[in-house]
């Protein structure tokens, strides 16, 4: 059964204002550093590089020793490879150090306090990151409530399948890791009776149960972190709800949704240009790029400045009404200009299915047959914007100040802005927001 999704249309200011979580590399780096510092400090405090005293070898191997050995190996392994786990490292670090602190406390060793201190530090770091995520989820929920259109929207079949596949994949990872961990714990339990009660001198080296216990602990911790991720994503989506975000053209917390920023401005379809006998774009292109003809077919080429059909003179000869009717044609616009942004035709806007913050960035989509359908060849995820880079403040090229022929209001055609025509070039599109931002208050002389 298709779940009911609600259409959310935030304004640019609200979308830009959503808080961002710290970058994964920073979260991971500090989590790994806490485990590394704790492990090294414990090693130094125990003077582990020295030969152990004679009574050490007479110690009788107990189950708690297996946990202690495996915890040390897991902590050392994570210290060196924790970067591989990304944000999962934040959840794994306190579990690893807690797993080490408990057996060292039961064994009444002097360095158990070090492991407990590390576990507390890692837990505090996890709480700090949790606070960031909770703040973001709360802000996303508030924006969804404020920006709700009241309209419901169904998902297309591919979007439904992708969401189910993502949910199943996350759940499968957690379940599979749990099963593997269970297998290793059973193997460890079977190996323990062969070594418990023997002295370390008799064993001479780490026992098989130590290696099996290390594998079991490592996989168990990874499984717990995966369950943590799955549960957190589930709770975040429950908190925010099933939403399809009709996102603004630029800015906001998500990267990779720039489909409305044109890469086709100033272009004309190759086959279309070749089909028009009066169009010179094809001949001018072939003359300028003789080696690239075979690379084009159903793609686009740069519109010729002097073409009687797509040239600058033709653009400037159009009446305002004619220009509005053709405003969605890419050849009208300068290559550095945005294409017109529709305020009415929702097919021209970008959708984001299920966005709840960094817990789940969502699926990029578009309107198709009154449903939200994923876009082809985009992969499952877009990315959260780097908090150190303000994409909304990206300095796009500005239209020239001189040579202006006229300004045409495109809002009657359902396009949110104006066209600026020039004597020396193609038109530029200026959004209503940009026009308002650049408009200066009148001076006394005016």
Instruction: Convert the pLDDT of each residue in 212-238 to its tens digit.
Output: 999 999 999 999 999 999 999 999 999
Chain mean position to CA 142:
21
Contact 331, 266 (CB under 8 A): yes
Q: Which two tokens stand for residue 231?
A: 């549960």
Query: What residue ranges of the chain have pLDDT lower than 50?
Result: 259-262, 344-348, 378-379, 391-393, 442-446
CB-based contact 210:66 (threshold 8 Å): yes
The per-residue pLDDT for 298 is 53
Cβ pair 181, 225 in contact under 8 A:
no
pLDDT of residue 435: 60
CB-count exposure of residue 22 (10 Å: 0-12, 13-18, 19+) = middle
Return the domain boundaries, the chain.
Answer: 5-250, 263-332+398-439
pLDDT at residue 446 in the model: 34
**pLDDT given at position 194:** 81
**Per-residue confidence (pLDDT) for residue 225, from 0 to 100:** 95
Query: Cα angle at 371 between 252 and 337, to 5 degrees?
Result: 45
């Amino acid at each position: 059964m298709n779940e009911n999704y609600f259409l959310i249309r935030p304004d640019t200011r609200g979308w830009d204002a959503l808080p961002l979580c710290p970058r994964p590399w920073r979260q991971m780096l500090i989590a790994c550093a806490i485990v590394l510092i704790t492990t090294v400090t414990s090693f130094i405090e125990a003077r582990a590089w020295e030969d152990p005293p004679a009574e050490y070898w007479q110690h009788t191997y107990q189950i708690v020793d297996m946990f202690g050995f495996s915890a040390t190996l897991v902590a050392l392994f994570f210290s060196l490879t924790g970067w591989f786990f990304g944000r999962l490292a934040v959840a794994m670090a306190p579990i690893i150090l807690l797993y080490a602190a408990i057996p060292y406390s039961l064994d009444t060793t002097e360095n158990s306090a070090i492991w407990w201190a590390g576990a507390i530090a890692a837990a505090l770091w996890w709480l700090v990151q949790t606070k960031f995520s909770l703040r973001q989820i709360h802000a996303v929920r508030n924006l969804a409530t404020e920006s709700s259109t009241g309209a419901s929207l169904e998902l297309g079949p591919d979007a439904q399948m992708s969401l189910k596949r993502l949910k199943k994949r996350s759940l499968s990872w957690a379940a599979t890791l749990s099963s593997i961990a269970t297998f290793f714990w059973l193997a460890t339990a079977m190996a323990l009776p062969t070594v418990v009660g023997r002295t370390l001198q008799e064993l001479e080296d780490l026992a098989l149960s130590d290696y099996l216990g290390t594998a079991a602990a490592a996989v168990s911790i990874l499984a717990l972190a995966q369950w943590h991720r799955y549960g957190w994503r589930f709770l975040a989506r429950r908190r925010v709800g099933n939403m399809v975000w009709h996102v603004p053209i630029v800015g906001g917390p998500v990267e990779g949704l720039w489909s409305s920023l044109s890469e086709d401005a100033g272009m004309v379809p190759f086959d279309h240009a070749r089909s028009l006998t009066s169009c010179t774009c094809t001949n001018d292109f072939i003359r300028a790029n003789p080696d690239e003809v075979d690379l084009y077919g159903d793609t686009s080429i740069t519109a010729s400045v002097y073409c009687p059909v797509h040239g600058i003179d033709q653009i400037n000869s159009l009446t305002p009404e004619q220009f509005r009717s053709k405003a969605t044609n890419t050849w009208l616009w300068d290559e550095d200009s945005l294409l017109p942004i529709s305020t009415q035709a929702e097919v021209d806007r970008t959708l984001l299915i299920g966005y709840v913050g960094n817990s789940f960035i969502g699926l990029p989509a578009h309107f198709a047959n009154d449903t939200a359908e994923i876009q082809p060849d985009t992969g499952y995820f877009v990315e959260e914007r780097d908090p150190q880079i303000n994409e909304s403040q990206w300095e796009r090229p500005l239209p020239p100040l001189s040579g202006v022929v006229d300004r045409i209001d495109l809002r009657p055609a359902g396009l949110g802005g104006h066209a600026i025509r020039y004597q020396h070039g193609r038109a530029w599109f200026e959004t209503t927001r940009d026009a308002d931002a650049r408009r200066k208050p009148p001076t006394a002389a005016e």
